[in-house]
Amino acid sequence: MNNLPDKVIILGSSALKIGEAGEFDYSGSQAIKALKEEGVNTILMNPNIATIQTSDHLADQVYFLPVTPYFVEQVIQKEKPDGILLGFGGQTALNCGLELEKSGVLARYGVRVLGTPVDAILNTEDRNLFIAKLNQINVKTARSFAVTGVTEAIQKAGEIGFPVMIRIAFALGGLGSGLCRNEQEVRELAQKALSYTNQILIEEYLLGWKEVEYEIVRDQYDNCLSVCNMENFDPMGIHTGESIVVAPSQTLSNSEYHKLREIAIRTVRHMGIIGECNIQYALDPYSEDYRVIEINARLSRSSALASKATGYPLAHVAAKLALGYSLTEVANSITKVTKASFEPALDYLVVKIPRWDLKKFKQVSKRIGSGMKSVGEIMAIGRKFEEALQKGLRMLEIGASGLVLNKQFGVADIKKELAEPTDQRIFAIPAAIKAGLTVDEIHDLTHIDKWFLFKIKNIVDIEKWLSRVGEQRCPKDLLEDAKQHGFSDEQISRVLETTEAQVRELRQAYGLTPKVKQIDTLAAEYPAQTNYLYLTYNGTEDDLGFLERNSVMVLGGGAYRIGSSVEFDWCCVNSVMALKELNYQTIMVNYNPETVSTDYDECDKLYFDELSYETVLDIYEKEKPIGVIVSMGGQIPNNLALKLDKAGVKLLGTSARSIDNAEDRHKFSKLLDELGIDQPEWKELSSVQDAIQFARDVGYPVLVRPSYVLSGAAMSVASTNAELEKFLTKASDISSDYPVVISKFIENAKEIEIDAVAQEGELLVYAISEHVENAGVHSGDATMVLPPQRTYLETTRRIKKIARQLARALKINGPFNMQFVAKGNAVKVIELNLRASRSFPFVSKIFKVNFIDIATRVIMGHHVPKIDRSVFDLEYVGVKAPQFSFTRLIGADPTLGVEMASTGEVGCLGDDFEEAFLKALLSVGYKLPVKNILLSTGPIESKAEFLHSTRLLEKMGMNFYATGGTAKFMQANDLPVTKLNWPLSNKEPNVNDYLENGKIDLVINIPKNYQEEELTNDYIIRRKAVDFAIPLFTNLQLARRFVEAISHKSIKDLQIKSWKEHV
């Protein structure tokens, strides 16, 4: 290939956030691999330290630095690349690249944009240019006006006629978009939207139209094809990221399918896109009329889904096309016999379902609509829609047994839920059918195509037949029908009033077992060496034999959700790599389309299927592996350990009994008592009375939590009897199988973590990190520092000792993580997880010692060479900071608590704490320099604690604004401050005006107590800060460290050093 670049810089998407999640780890990793195959030197910029793409075996140089124009320019200046890829890091990378182009940086350093040219990207991103461009080729777009002011917005909305949609140009995942029914709603939304951007769109509202997407690839020779089309189950009005999506489309005729395909290809050619592109349509359900909604000239969430749905390696191919190859020259790496220039034919269908975590947020609206709120997604594969849908609902791990026969998801007002959807609308449809609503009535309320509703009715019908079985044995035909329609054994056991084990037994007696089918991109037309598999009951033959006798199964992490995300995918992928190195055949089970672990080239066999007891056992019985690793994928596999063990599955690593002893709060506490290890006082609850008595004995605040949870689901700190009662109810909703535990909450203590690997009970490697925030902030939301900077040596010594004791007592053989609270030198254990934790990639990459590689060798009983202690003696510091997505979560109170709220994280390196800390904060959206600060520093103790910081800020020449109490406190301490009135006071000068009009650069707002869920002035200030994209601190310790850091360092002092240069 001529004209290949020598060195290419790839921009990543930074921390995972709502609208921009793991899909870009997949696409970036594929791009790096594609470039390396061509011998191109690769430079990756991405502070997301938990990703696979930032592993040392991929890019030649990795920079854990903010993906902002300033830092990218610095890296370009240093590395002198001759090419840049903008299409593999989501909207973050694209927007950053466009700014660099606009400011002339790329031209100045001679960096060529590979793939789609910048002017083509601009034509897709700028709404007016976009419409004009499509008009040239007679392609219809929704009636739309780009406006720059609120008055103009109202006027154009009037021209189109209400209702109208407001959308933001240059936005990811429909940020700030929404439906406006009247002038007032236009005014409110337009004002808010115009704070992020200077252009918004007022658009025709296509209520009830079908929403269809195509993924198109094009090379520079004008070859252009459609890799996949997808249809939204939820029609227009609900963002595609919030919709259930099927691929391929199910309700389109040949003429519709190919008409839209042809328009897509015509459009992509006209735009001049090279590489990958996504095009979204609205299609009239009563004619072939259509509108193009938008085009994304980059890899996207949909393209990741399309890639996993079809087996077509979109990101890999897009990278090759960006280098100048033609589609006819790129091999189809799935079949190995055909080329990339073909369109996949599916002989199955996939269903994608979003995963929401709205319960984690205080005050958030549960309504779903044109903005994204979901934090992850699953993809289920089947040969019937019903099969895939029910699998998918279980994969969400929200407690659903399928579409029907659930304990939860009762819908109070069915019609309202159908018409005004929340995250639980899907469950309202079977409820509506049972309540006697017809398919027509449901269609009228939801606009969901009746074909989908008929399918849902089939599921309801089967439930009905099953419920009529009564005392007798379920007949084979009916059981088979149920299995073919995606009913799980457990789900069937509920209606038959028997046990899951009995259903399994009956099913096997009838000879009903799922069949393994391959995804081969060509519907079996050509033989394919594919390892990409799923299970179905709609088949009579396995596609392949199960002859390997040296295989190991690794259970993946499932949907990304708060608390379990790309970190566990990193662990799974690294574990698989280690297994391969040890010459085992690897079998991965996972169903998250955003992951690298579900890539075609990571493992020997990939089962894109459920991580349930039933499915894992089915696969295990077919594959007969050496054993199963449950410690890499986070809490889902961890929770299966005991049950799988009882069913005779060989678990590799720490024993199931030990896992249970750590997870079961009761057993764990008993163990700690026996070993004489201190822990916060606790009690397992039998009644609310007991709980209140306990709280009275130990004193408030107390912590309430169920066993076997991750990321603090339903974990709460109660300060009063009333709060305690409320939280207890919530906790028992989440997990009724496991007991609820209440413990003393220790205030003003430090939180410290250890990530470690033990071999046969002996501690092998460990990393101790401290949190910047005091205990009480969930460890996933905390800012972590490695090595600890402010922890006494004696404390770390004690922690190490406890870790040793527990490793021995539980005969730990693999990865584990423990959390402690420390006050003075007193150390108390909060929890122990006998699995890899969220921080394993962080500590592994900071130390440059791969904990998962070691853990995997340990688990497999291989010798691990002694680690040289000196590698733990660091000359630098790593800081991990959380990324929040509050902007997306309308109404959510952006405060921190014991329940995790962050959606992602970054990890940065520095020669000292402050350097790493500032890089990390700048990576998650904080901005420098700061001039105007709004202070509201909470209770008097924290006001006093922050006084020193305020004085530092004064010396730096900051302007202070403060509300009532804080202003008074500052004046009393001789600090100059402008007093602003509370938002609810309606008095001028009002905090609201200052926040809305860009007069504040930073808000420091320390809440007064742990969990008040009221609409207070403080809440309004925090929310405004989030809505107007103003950096916000709500944690005192974090704010203080920030002030210290900026008093010593400016952005210019942050060194541009690659990972390799640091370690």
Partner 1 sequence: MEAKKIKARLELEDGSVFQGYSFGAQTSVAGEVVFNTSMVGYPESLTDPSYYGQILVLTYPLIGNYGVPESHIVDGLDDCFESSRVQITGLIVSEYSFDYQHWSAGKSLAQWLIEHKVPGLYGIDTRMLTKRLREEGSMLGRLLFFTEKKNFYDPNKINLVERVSIRQPIDYGTGDKKVILVDCGAKDNIIRCLLQRDVRVRRVPWNYDFTHEEFDGVMISNGPGDPKMCRDTVALVQKVMDREKPIFGICMGNQILALAAGADTFKLKFGHRSQNQPCVEVGTKRCYITSQNHGYAVDGRTLPEGWEPWFVNANDGTNEGIRHTSQPFRSVQFHPEAAPGPVDTAILFDDFKRMML
Kindly list the residues in this chain that would bind partner 1 in the complex (CB under 8 A): 219, 221-223, 225-226, 248-254, 257-258, 261-262, 265, 285-287, 326-329, 337-339, 341-349, 383-385, 449-451, 454-455, 457, 465, 477-478, 481, 515, 517, 522-527, 538-541, 543
State in angstroms the smallest separation of the CB of 282 from partner 1. Answer: 15
Separation between Cα atoms, residue 570 and residue 851, nearest integer Å:
11
Counting beta carbons within 10 angstroms of the beta carbon of residue 138, is it exposed (0 to 12), middle (13 to 18) or buried (19 or more)? exposed
State in angstroms the smallest separation of the CB of 262 from partner 1. Answer: 5
If the CB atoms of residues 223 and 981 are measured against partner 1, the closer one turns out to be 223
State in angstroms the smallest separation of the CB of 450 from partner 1. Answer: 4
Alpha-carbon 631 to chain mean position: 20
Query: 122 and 133 in contact (C-beta within 8 Å)?
Result: no
If the CB atoms of residues 382 and 815 are measured against partner 1, the closer one turns out to be 382
If the CB atoms of residues 217 and 802 are measured against partner 1, the closer one turns out to be 217
Separation between Cα atoms, residue 791 and residue 913, nearest integer Å:
13
Evaluate the omega torsion of the peptide bond into residue 527 and state whether it is cis, within 30 degrees of 0: no
State in angstroms the smallest separation of the CB of 239 from partner 1. Answer: 24
**Which residues contact residue 568 at a Cβ distance below 8 angstroms, ignoring those fewer than 6 apart?**
556, 557, 632, 633, 634, 836, 838
Which letter, b or e, does each residue of 57-86 get, where b requires 16 or more Cβ atoms within 10 Å of its Cβ? ebbbbbbbbbbbbbbbbbbbeebebbbbbb
Separation between Cα atoms, residue 330 and residue 328, nearest integer Å:
6
**Which two tokens mark 173?**
């995942």
State in angstroms the smallest separation of the CB of 189 from partner 1. Answer: 33
If the CB atoms of residues 450 and 927 are measured against partner 1, the closer one turns out to be 450
Query: 848 and 620 in contact (C-beta within 8 Å)?
Result: no
Separation between Cα atoms, residue 759 and residue 974, nearest integer Å:
59
Instruction: Count the neighbouring beta carbons within 10 Å of the beta carbon of residue 546.
Output: 16
State in angstroms the smallest separation of the CB of 484 from partner 1. Answer: 9
If the CB atoms of residues 204 and 343 are measured against partner 1, the closer one turns out to be 343
State in angstroms the smallest separation of the CB of 223 from partner 1. Answer: 5
Alpha-carbon 1024 to chain mean position: 24
State in angstroms the smallest separation of the CB of 553 from partner 1. Answer: 24
State in angstroms the smallest separation of the CB of 176 from partner 1. Answer: 34
**Which two tokens mark 929?**
């320099």
State in angstroms the smallest separation of the CB of 337 from partner 1. Answer: 7
Q: Which helix (H) or strand (E) holds 391?
A: helix 385-395
- Name residue, tokens 């910081």: 949
Separation between Cα atoms, residue 457 and residue 301, nearest integer Å:
30
If the CB atoms of residues 321 and 975 are measured against partner 1, the closer one turns out to be 321
Which letter, b or e, does each residue of 636-669 get, where b requires 16 or more Cβ atoms within 10 Å of its Cβ? bbbbbbbebbeeebebbbbbbebbbbbbbbeebb
If the CB atoms of residues 231 and 397 are measured against partner 1, the closer one turns out to be 231
If the CB atoms of residues 3 and 986 are measured against partner 1, the closer one turns out to be 3
Q: Which helix (H) or strand (E) holds 125?
A: helix 118-125
Separation between Cα atoms, residue 202 and residue 365, nearest integer Å:
23
If the CB atoms of residues 226 and 856 are measured against partner 1, the closer one turns out to be 226
State in angstroms the smallest separation of the CB of 417 from partner 1. Answer: 22
If the CB atoms of residues 346 and 662 are measured against partner 1, the closer one turns out to be 346
Query: 991 and 933 in contact (C-beta within 8 Å)?
Result: no
Evaluate the omega torsion of the peptide bond into residue 285 and state whether it is cis, within 30 degrees of 0: no
Going by their DSSP bridges, the two strands 349-355 and 245-247 should be labelled as: antiparallel
State in angstroms the smallest separation of the CB of 299 from partner 1. Answer: 21
Q: What secondary structure, in 3-state letters, does 134-196 show?
A: HHHCCCCECCEEEECCHHHHHHHHHHHCCCEEEEECCCCCCCCCEEECCHHHHHHHHHHHCCC
Handedness of CA 966, 967, 972, 976 (dihedral sign): positive
If the CB atoms of residues 477 and 673 are measured against partner 1, the closer one turns out to be 477
3-state helix, strand, coil in the chain (%, to 5): 40, 20, 40
State in angstroms the smallest separation of the CB of 438 from partner 1. Answer: 13
**Which residues contact residue 522 at a Cβ distance below 8 angstroms, ignoring those fewer than 6 apart?**
335, 338, 342, 344, 345, 528
φ/ψ (deg, to 5) at 716: -145, 155
Separation between Cα atoms, residue 499 and residue 496, nearest integer Å:
8
Separation between Cα atoms, residue 722 and residue 387, nearest integer Å:
44
State in angstroms the smallest separation of the CB of 439 from partner 1. Answer: 8
- Name residue, tokens 């996933």: 780
If the CB atoms of residues 222 and 993 are measured against partner 1, the closer one turns out to be 222
State in angstroms the smallest separation of the CB of 391 from partner 1. Answer: 15
If the CB atoms of residues 326 and 732 are measured against partner 1, the closer one turns out to be 326
State in angstroms the smallest separation of the CB of 330 from partner 1. Answer: 11
Using DSSP's 3-state secondary structure scheme, residue 205 falls into coil
Query: 630 and 641 in contact (C-beta within 8 Å)?
Result: yes
Instruction: Count the neighbouring beta carbons within 10 Å of the beta carbon of residue 1061.
Output: 12
If the CB atoms of residues 225 and 1039 are measured against partner 1, the closer one turns out to be 225
If the CB atoms of residues 100 and 350 are measured against partner 1, the closer one turns out to be 350
CA distances from 813 to 571, 645, 834, 860 (A): 16, 16, 9, 10
Query: 153 and 180 in contact (C-beta within 8 Å)?
Result: no
State in angstroms the smallest separation of the CB of 328 from partner 1. Answer: 5
Instruction: Count the neighbouring beta carbons within 10 Å of the beta carbon of residue 538.
Output: 17
State in angstroms the smallest separation of the CB of 453 from partner 1. Answer: 9
If the CB atoms of residues 344 and 558 are measured against partner 1, the closer one turns out to be 344
If the CB atoms of residues 272 and 539 are measured against partner 1, the closer one turns out to be 539
Separation between Cα atoms, residue 622 and residue 209, nearest integer Å:
44
If the CB atoms of residues 451 and 792 are measured against partner 1, the closer one turns out to be 451
Query: 589 and 621 in contact (C-beta within 8 Å)?
Result: no
